[in-house]
Chain A
Amino acid sequence: SAVISQKPSRDICQRGTSLTIQCQVDSQVTMMFWYRQQPGQSLTLIATANQGSEATYESGFVIDKFPISRPNLTFSTLTVSNMSPEDSSIYLCSVEAVGQSSYEQYFGPGTRLTVT
């Protein structure tokens, strides 16, 4: 399985500001994803981070609000822009590891964001 780290692990931000979350993987991976987990809720996919091209966003998420970069096969960033208290969530990146014709996804430790 891949080892995934995220920075920062947590942050408290003021509304109207932006925060960039980093995700680093210890090996090259094809597929990277960003998820959001609102308080007491399950995970919702924000977007697929594509290396060398624009991210693919899910319904309800837009690039202006959640710009994503994927400069190489081991690193990605998610920015939460113009934050409001509703953006308070845990943000998690995940990677897909291929093994024996199956595709397991492994998650980073998450970034806990509180917007005041």
Chain B
Amino acid sequence: SQQGEEDPQALSIQEGENATMNCSYKTSINNLQWYRQNSGRGLVHLILIRSNEREKHSGRLRVTLDTSKKSSSLLITASRAADTASYFCATALPIYNQGGKLIFGQGTELSVKP
């Protein structure tokens, strides 16, 4: 079964607005990673946040992690039409002594209207 659950499943906003997507998971993790996928193509890695980090920024992206609530959020500020895509969170579960296999959430479909 999927580790992560994302909400909302779909989000439609106007260009320039902020978009917030949430991800919840069930078990302990090494890290949590966010990805973007355009129209069923390959996944683009956006950002990784480690289990001992609470917030991370990358350009217009801001990711938070609350391990006590087992949840994360991805904020995209000043959205653009080009941000239209599906966004997935993925949690890395420990295997061996390093890294981890990824368990994906169901994804949020973001539509940014010009």
Do A102 and B102 touch (CB < 8 A)?
Answer: no
A11-19, A68-76, A77-85, A108-116 - the one binding chain B: A108-116
When distances are taken between beta carbons in the complex, the residues of chain B under 8 Å from A108 are: 42
Q: Of residues 77 to 114 in B, which have CB atoms within 8 Å of A's CB atoms?
A: 88, 90, 92, 95, 98-107
Let me know if A24 is at the binding interface, CB within 8 A. no
A93 to B33, CA, bound (A): 16
- Interface of chain B: mostly helix, strand, loop or mixed: strand
Cβ of B92 and Cβ of A103 under 8 Å apart? yes
Total residues of chain B contacting the partner, CB 8 A: 26
Q: Are A105 and B42 CB-contacts (below 8 A) given A31-B99, A33-B102, A43-B104?
A: no
Q: Which residues of A contact B100 (CB under 8 A)?
A: 103
Which residue of B has the minimal Cβ distance to A110?
B42
Residues on A with beta carbons closer than 8 Å to the beta carbon of B35:
107
What secondary structure prevails in chain A residues at the interface with B?
A: strand
A107 touches B43 (CB 8 A): yes
Please state if A1 and B45 are interface contacts (CB–CB under 8 Å). yes
* Assembled-state Cα–Cα distance A37/B31 (Å): 22
Is the C-beta of A90 less than 8 angstroms from some C-beta in chain B?
yes
How far apart sit A51 and B41, CA to CA, in the bound complex (Å)?
27
Q: How many Å from the CB of A112 to the closest CB on chain B? A: 7
Q: Does B59 contact A (CB under 8 A)?
A: no
Q: Which residues of B contact A92 (CB under 8 A)?
A: 42-43
By CB atoms of chain B within 10 A, which of A1, A94, A105 has the most?
A105
- CB pair B50 A102 closer than 8 Å: yes
Q: Which of A45, A58, A102, A107 contacts B42 (CB 8 A)?
A: A107
Contact B99 A48 (CB under 8 A): no
Q: B8 → chain A, closest Cβ, in Å?
A: 15
Which B residues fall within an 8 A CB radius of A? 2, 30-31, 33, 35, 40-43, 45, 48, 50, 88, 90, 92, 95, 98-107
With A42-B107, A105-B33 known, 16 other A-B pairs at CB within 8 A are: A37-B40, A43-B43, A43-B104, A58-B101, A92-B43, A96-B99, A98-B98, A102-B48, A103-B30, A103-B92, A103-B100, A105-B92, A105-B102, A107-B45, A108-B42, A110-B41
